[in-house]
A and B are shown apart, each in its own frame.
Chain A
Amino acid sequence: MADTLLNKPNVKGLSAKDFRSDQENRWCPGCGDHGILNSVQRAMAEMDHKREDYAVISGIGCSSRFPYYMNTYGFHTIHGRAAAIASGVKCANPNLEVLQISGDGDALAIGGNHFIHAVRRNIDMTIMLFNNEIYGLTKGQYSPTSRYGMVTKTSPYGTIEEPFNPAQLALGAQSKFYARSIDTNINLTKEVVKSASAHKGTSIVEILQNCVIYNDGAHALITDKANKDEYQLVIEHGKPMIFGKDKNKGLIMGGNGKLVVVTIGEHGITEQDVLVHDAHTEDSHMHWLLSSMMAPEYPVALGVIRDVDSTSYDEKMAQQIEDIKAISTIKSMDELLNSGDTWVVD
């Protein structure tokens, strides 16, 4: 199956294979990153950008090796700065399709400042946040998304700091697009990457990624076959938020302003009572509630949680330059040099 999918060319005649570079892949066998790479290459094969128009920018960390495996323009930069570098790339050439790859340490610890400001500015690019809740490349220290109390090499007695929920951070920074997927769900990741790419502005795609070496099973509660249906809620704009093995669970708004999981058919609840997902609403309140849901109390929301129309920074930057060019009286460097008070010595 995989091969037929890989070989289906897109409008530009490119298939997923055409996005593979000849570099030897150095991720650990079984690492979630392999699946994400696969998803991204498939997404690209289904999108209509030319290969030379992709710029894949990463920071430092296991996930940040990503550009080397892509047969596109790529830049493996320095720790934490990918968002700033990607911002510069996009502003210099808004025609490029910019994809930023970062891990939870790269984007939220050392690069936290660049992350929130890229989101706030709303630069048209997709930030893929590989969230494995650990530092992998430096061999197993806790990250800003590691669960409270987690024992790692730098927290041998358990961490004493609360983790970030990346979605809350992003929404606080006025994010207009937030999606979430899981490394093993190739198809969902592919779909959200496509939606993210189509969105104008900064799109964040958080991928719950498994680090088989240093944090194996971090997301097991929701990914294990046994629980999967109960703890994953794949949402879609305009569709009721229903989940469960028997498709009989749903979300309603409780009287205390909290979401409540209900069973359709019990206590007089019908499908009509279940909340319908509105990804396009400007008001981020519901998106906050959805993205904050954690198992086992709730299912974890996957798919496009927020997708609000916006104008990107780079568009506005280009537009402002055009507007000022149109009214500016100084049209050339020579005119600038000779502008204002000057005098002639003869």
Chain B
Amino acid sequence: MSQKTKIIEREDVVIRFSGDSGDGMQLTGTQFSDTSALFGNDVATFPDYPAEIRAPQGTVGGVSGFQLHFGHQEVFTPGDYADVLVAMNPAALKSNLKWVKPSGTIIVNEDSFTEKNLEKAGYDSDPLLEDKLADYNLIKAKVTSLTRECLKDSGLDQKSILRSKNMFTLGMVYWMFDRPLKHSEEFIEKKFKKHPLVVDANKKVLKAGFNFAKTIEALPYNYSVAPANIRKGRYRNITGNKATAWGLMAAADKAKLELFCGSYPITPATDIFQELAIHKGLGVKTFQAEDEIAGICTAIGASFAGDFAVTTTSGPGLALKTEAAGLAVMTELPLVIVNVQRGGPSTGLPTKTEQADLLQAIHGRSGECPMPVIAASTPSDCFHFAFEAGRIALEHMTPVILLTDGFIANGTEPWRIPSMSDLPEIIPPIAKEGEDFLPYAREDDRLSRRWAIPGTKGLEHRIGGLEKMDGDGTVSYVPENHQLMSDIRKKRVELVANNIPELKVKGNDEADVLVVGWGGTYGHLMTAVRELQKEGKSISLVHFNYIFPLPKNTGEIFGHYKKIIVCELNNGQFVEYLRGSFYGIKFEQLNKLMGLPFTVVELKERFNQLLEDK
């Protein structure tokens, strides 16, 4: 398509689009990532929205970003630092410059570097006029005026014309990475089907941007990232929150139950609830409750009445749900509680990511109140672990907490679409009319009670939050019975370990260093460990999705390594938990609390240090 003199093959490239909330950067980024995925690259993306919905235009607080990482190899993260930054205004440049690699490329919309905008962004002087950016490949493009010029005869009003300027930058970046325009052209045709003028305008600007980059030779050389060697199959892009919603729906489908979700909106979990609300066509019942407590309580009621019930929330919401979660433990009803973790405590950093609700999930209830906790680790595996949370809840008659986080919830990656027939059936222990039924009789190896659903003749019974007599389920204050029931509740969660897969180490069984992680840090840990392995370092990774109970071979794996480092986005909650469970094993720890994921760079630095330590 382009005639470049020099093409440089790259393993992977990171691009960051940034601009004002209204500049269409999310759409631009999504287009580039879809095109790259279609081209055959592996892709990971992460949107970075401002916390305030209507932050003032042109200010640093109002900058919206979208980072994407595409590669010839498997890509596990949206990347630490960008090879290319697109900055649509001074504020975008100011807030994102620190994320550009040394000698990276920066494309700025020169038109927006006006005195007023510079002031809004907090610049004392114009950074484009100084040598501050001399170390970068700075491309100044008059994006606004070029777009205007290109569309002067389009018949569109000024506002609509300006709205298409993001297509200009998209076109430029397409040229730089030798990408076809076809996918985006089709997208534009579909999106603006009812407005042919807008379709023409956007396509024209896209091409103009492409040609502009070619004319000015935006790069002295051209990057090319060859398609990755990806497993055959049909793919789609998916965010963690959407994958979570679909995983819950898949679990209901496989259990042949109706799905009920009682929730209250909370960032960053709301998208799961919204996604479920769309799918009434597949029978999903959503109930927007008056508060977090009612969210879980309606779900518990629905579970009592025989639905597969879920509630979705984030940390502060989980705190509000704890008493009711205890009721679900006491009554041994199936329930999935999804906690999309955000920065805390209190309102904290609602749009940022953290892993600091781990101990809340494991222990944060009154009394001895155990329930299984599992964690998803990538946007797409949210589907699998939401399904798993449902499977465990329904088969073991227990509430289950599924932990995701703001990073994987909003991130996207291509996902090989599973077939429903590949997923296991879920068989909850539903009591049938005519069977001998006692509310707290336990028959199977899971020690779960049977689920007698109201409406079933002859199985009328009463349950509740008061301690119940083993077997017949009458209210009991007998001391020995409370001991017994407490032991059973503990044992029931332990028995889940028989129904989950064992851990697999990524790398050598006997490496010098074992990196340990859990949940949404997988991508960064995997990238860092893999890069070090390629450099010949003796390092392996073991990553946990099943947190409570732990997989059965956990202790055995730890026994193989002298140096173990547990990395997590909190002050050391998982490592505390491991120390309590595996006495005598020495765990190093790496913690971060900035509302941001780890960077591969900082991980490698720490791991190298540990490798060198005697």
Contacts and interface: CB of A to CB of B under 8 A. Distances in A.
Interface of A: 21, 23, 50-55, 57, 60, 67-68, 70-78, 81, 84-93, 95-96, 113-114, 117, 317, 320-321, 324-325, 327-328, 330-334, 336-338, 340-346
Contacts of B459: 52
A23 B462 CA distance: 10
A93 B249 CA distance: 18
A53 B455 CA distance: 5
Given A76-B465, A93-B455, A84 B298 contact: yes
Nearest to B457: A52
Given A74-B462, A88-B305, A117-B290, A52 B454 contact: yes
A24 B602 CA distance: 65
Given A68-B462, A72-B460, A114-B290, A336 B454 contact: no
A340 B287 contact: no
B463 interface: yes
A88 B298 contact: yes
B84 interface: no
A344 B234 contact: yes
A161 to B, nearest CB: 23
A345 B232 contact: yes
14 contacts: A53-B454, A54-B454, A60-B465, A73-B461, A88-B262, A89-B454, A92-B306, A96-B454, A317-B285, A336-B282, A338-B234, A338-B417, A345-B232, A346-B232
B408 to A, nearest CB: 19
Interface in B204-243: 230-237
Contacts of B337: none
Contact of B260 (A88, A340, A345): A88
B505 interface: no
Tell me the dominant secondary structure on chain B's binding face.
Answer: mixed
A95 B297 contact: no
A87 B287 contact: yes
A76 B463 contact: yes
A343 B461 CA distance: 52
Interface of B: 34, 37-38, 40, 230-237, 246, 249-250, 253, 258, 260, 262, 279-285, 287, 289-291, 293-294, 297-307, 309, 323-324, 326-327, 331, 417-420, 453-466, 474-475
A70 B234 CA distance: 55
Nearest to A340: B236
A91 B287 contact: yes
Contact of B40 (A67, A85, A95, A345): A345
Nearest to A60: B465
Contacts of B293: 81, 84, 114
B302 A92 contact: yes
Contacts of A95: 455
A74 B474 CA distance: 12
B234 A343 contact: yes
B466 A85 contact: no
Contacts of A72: 460
A320 B281 CA distance: 9
B416 to A, nearest CB: 8
Contacts of A93: 305-307, 453-455
A95 to B, nearest CB: 6
A93 B302 CA distance: 8
Contacts of B282: 325, 328, 330-333, 336
Tell me the dominant secondary structure on chain A's binding face.
Answer: mixed
A340 B30 CA distance: 14
Contacts of A92: 258, 260, 285, 301-307, 309
Query: Which 9 residue pairs of A and B lie closest in terms of their CB atoms, listed nearest first?
Result: A88-B301, A328-B281, A76-B464, A88-B298, A84-B297, A92-B305, A74-B462, A92-B302, A85-B301
Contacts of B307: 92-93
A75 B281 contact: no
A341 B460 contact: no
Given A76-B466, A333-B420, A343-B234, A321 B454 contact: no
A325 B253 CA distance: 15
A81 B324 contact: yes
A89 B465 CA distance: 17
B327 A320 contact: no
Point out which of A52, A86, A331, A345 has the most chain B C-beta atoms below 10 A from its C-beta: A345
Contact of B462 (A60, A67, A324, A331): A67
A32 B32 CA distance: 71
A78 B322 CA distance: 12
Contacts of B290: 84, 113-114, 117
A133 B326 CA distance: 29
Nearest to B333: A75
Nearest to B289: A84
A84 B301 contact: yes
A52 to B, nearest CB: 5
Point out which of B40, B249, B305, B324 has the most chain A C-beta atoms below 10 A from its C-beta: B305
Contacts of B258: 92
Given A73-B461, A92-B307, A87 B236 contact: no
A146 to B, nearest CB: 25
B246 A81 contact: no
A75 B460 contact: no
A127 to B, nearest CB: 14
Contacts of A60: 465
B475 A333 contact: no
Given A50-B457, A325-B282, A337-B246, 17 more contacts: A23-B474, A51-B460, A52-B456, A52-B457, A74-B460, A77-B465, A78-B326, A86-B301, A87-B294, A88-B301, A92-B260, A92-B307, A96-B305, A114-B290, A332-B420, A333-B249, A343-B235
A60 B289 CA distance: 21
A113 B294 contact: yes
B249 A89 contact: no
A75 B306 contact: no
Nearest to A72: B460
A337 B306 contact: no
B89 to A, nearest CB: 30
B465 A78 contact: yes
Given A84-B301, A117-B294, A343-B38, A75 B417 contact: no
B163 to A, nearest CB: 22
A141 B287 CA distance: 35
Contacts of A51: 460
